[in-house]
Amino acid sequence: MSNSPHPWQEAVRPSPFHGAAASHSLTNEWLRRGAYTVADVYSTVEQEYDALRAGAGLVDHSPLNKVRISGKNARPFLNRLLTGNADDLPLRQSLSSLFCNDAGHVIGLARLLRVHVEEYHLYTEENHTSWLWDTAKGYNDIQIDNFTHDTGVLGIFGRQAADILLAAGADGAEELEPSHHDAFMLRQARLRILKTMLMGEPGYYLYVDPKDALLVWETLMKAGEAHGLAPVGRRAQDICRIEAGELRAGTDFIGALEAVHGNRPRSPFECGLDALVDLEKDHFVGLRALSHGAHNQKRTSIVCLRVEGTEAVTGARILSNGQLIGVVTSSAWSPSLGHVAALATVAAGNARPGEVVQIEFFTTNELEPETRKLEAIIVEK
């Protein structure tokens, strides 16, 4: 403790992979995510995008919030917390899910890993630890600890990801089924590997002890040399995420606990995450609110847009017949789709694919103010 930096110096810290990431960074462009800085761009957005789509990309997801939930009651607790069925999640498998408050508003999206019979890891974009504590009140024999700073998270995604992992020497990892995970050795490093999809690409998450972070990074980079592996920063990841229609908490919707204004939180249905909600379950937090017709009471919908032009339009207003109906929350030029792809929140009833809407925003062109008006079309997610 005495050697560690003072609190006013360590509020934002480098990720465990920083040393390696910095040596690959040609741009020195960093971005704050949660309690960490991660690379925004390593080389060029285009090169990184291309690596991810054509070969494989190495992504540093260490800022993810990580919570260990263990004890006899971990299972019933998690089943009560998550909208999906966590009750018969087998050992070494994982579940993508979300959790709500009593009002049926989404608090966050989560990935749950069962690592031992009575131990689970929960990964979320934002920190909800004290909500978990509150929800666990009344359960005995349950421990909930945030271990965000004790684990680095490295993702390797893209069609070459499996070959690279094999070449790196993570023996057996190539046999993992989707959403399965297990403990492996990569050289001297013990780590857990999960097979999953992200940004529309198959790949793996590696959960790494920070002391092994640089070793794991370099081992993968070396093994990936012949497979087109490149580290991919947040900007290129964002393009792929938007193309795949993946929402990010705090960006595409406001979590119910974070919202300052009471009318900002959204139901899973309003987020288009119906598939993650199991209304047949006996119980989960928010079930009552959600099973009472929340389907029909959607105030807003999250939609994908195909926008005219080439520039990002995040924050732009969306109009239909001159009426303001929503806002663009994420957007980027998509090299593979050949148009600007966007995620947007629009008033319910305006979400039909094929519908044409107007996009409007203010910008400057070499300091000349301009009002930009573009057309966009709502597309199937």
Partner 1 sequence: MAGHDVIIVGAGHNGLVAAAYLARAGLDVLVCERASQVGGSLANTEICPGFIGASGAHDVTLMAPAIISDLNLSAFGLNFIPLPGRATLLRDGGYIGSYANTHQTACDIERYCHRDAERYRDYERHMARQRNLFKTLLMSPFPDIAMLGRDDHHLPEAVAKGLKAMGKDTMFEALTFWFRSCKDHLDQYFETDALKAHIAGPSFVGAPRGPFSPGTAYLLLHSQLGAHMQGLQGFVRGGTQKLGEALLSAVKTFGGKVLCDAEVSGVNLAKGAVVSVTLADGSVHEAKSIVSNLDLKRTFLTLFDWEALSDPLLAQVGHFRMQGSVANMNIALDGLPEFPGLPDGCPLLAGRLNFTASLSDMERAFDCWKDSRTPDYPPLEVTLPSLSDPSLCPPGKHVLSIHIQYIPNHLMAGNWDDEKKEALAVRVLSLVAEHSPNLKDLILGWTLDVPPDLEDKFALTGGDIHHGDMSLDQLLFNRPLPGYTNHRTPFKNFYMCGASTHPGGGVMGAPGALAARSVLNDLGYAGS
Identify which of residues 145 and 171 has a Cβ nearer to partner 1 in the complex.
145
Q: Choose the binding region for partner 1 from 114-122, 256-264, 318-326, 373-381 (rule: CB under 8 A).
A: 256-264
Contact pattern for partner 1 over residues 98 through 117, marking x by CB under 8 A: -----x--------------
Q: Choose the binding region for partner 1 from 123-131, 234-242, 246-254, 276-284 (rule: CB under 8 A).
A: 123-131
Tokens of 250: 């705090």
Which residues in the 12-31 window bind partner 1 by CB under 8 A? Answer: 12
Contact pattern for partner 1 over residues 216 through 255, marking x by CB under 8 A: ----------------------------------------
Query: CA dist 164 to 116, 152, 212, Å?
Result: 27, 19, 18
Query: Which of residues 11, 26, 185, 324 is near partner 1 by CB under 8 A?
Result: 11
Identify which of residues 97 and 127 has a Cβ nearer to partner 1 in the complex.
127
Query: Which of residues 90, 138, 262, 354 is near partner 1 by CB under 8 A?
Result: 262
Residue 322 CB coordination number (10 Å): 6
Q: Is 324 in the site for partner 1 (CB under 8 A)?
A: no
Report the nearest approach of partner 1 to the CB of residue 2 (Å).
Answer: 10
Q: Is 129 in the site for partner 1 (CB under 8 A)?
A: yes
Report the nearest approach of partner 1 to the CB of residue 294 (Å).
Answer: 15
Q: Choose the binding region for partner 1 from 90-98, 161-169, 176-184, 260-268 (rule: CB under 8 A).
A: 260-268
Q: Return the HEC string of the chain.
A: CCCCCCHHHHCCEECCCHHHHHHHCCCCEEEEECCEEEEEECCCHHHHHHHHHHCEEEEECCCCEEEEEECCCHHHHHHHHECCCCCCCCCCEEEEEEEECCCCCEEEEEEEEEEECCEEEEEECCCCHHHHHHHCCCCCCCEEEECHHHCEEEEEECCCHHHHHHHHCCCCHHHCCCCEEEEEEECCEEEEEEEEEECCEEEEEEEECHHHHHHHHHHHHHHHHHHCEEECCHHHHHHHHHHCCCCCECCCECCCCCCCCCCCCCCCCCCCCHHHCCCCCCCCCCHHHHHCCCCCCCCEEEEEEEECCCCCCCCCEEEECCEEEEEEEEEEEECCCCEEEEEEEEECCCCCCCCEEEEEEEEEECCEEEEEEEEEEEECC
Q: Is 133 in the site for partner 1 (CB under 8 A)?
A: yes
Q: Are 74 and 142 in contact (CB under 8 A)?
A: yes
Q: Is 6 in the site for partner 1 (CB under 8 A)?
A: yes
Which residues in the 74-103 window bind partner 1 by CB under 8 A? Answer: 103
Q: Is 289 in the site for partner 1 (CB under 8 A)?
A: no
Report the nearest approach of partner 1 to the CB of residue 255 (Å).
Answer: 10
Q: Return the HEC string of 285-315.
A: CCHHHHHCCCCCCCCEEEEEEEECCCCCCCC
Query: Which of residues 140, 263, 310, 321 is near partner 1 by CB under 8 A?
Result: 263
Report the nearest approach of partner 1 to the CB of residue 287 (Å).
Answer: 18
- Our measurement of the distance from residue 340's CA atom to the centroid of its chain's CA atoms, rounded to an integer in Å, reads 21
Report the nearest approach of partner 1 to the CB of residue 235 (Å).
Answer: 23
Given its phi and psi angles, is residue 367 left (phi above 0), alpha (psi -120 to 50 degrees) or beta?
left
Q: Choose the binding region for partner 1 from 75-83, 130-138, 175-183, 275-283 (rule: CB under 8 A).
A: 130-138
Q: Is 257 in the site for partner 1 (CB under 8 A)?
A: yes
Report how many residues bind partner 1 under the rule CB under 8 A: 22
Query: Which of residues 31, 35, 54, 244 is near partner 1 by CB under 8 A?
Result: 35
Identify which of residues 1 and 356 has a Cβ nearer to partner 1 in the complex.
1
Query: Which of residues 3, 140, 260, 366 is near partner 1 by CB under 8 A?
Result: 260
Q: Is 146 in the site for partner 1 (CB under 8 A)?
A: yes
Where do contacts with partner 1 occur on this chain (CB under 8 A)?
Answer: 1, 6-8, 10-12, 35, 103, 127, 129-131, 133, 146, 257-258, 260-263, 265
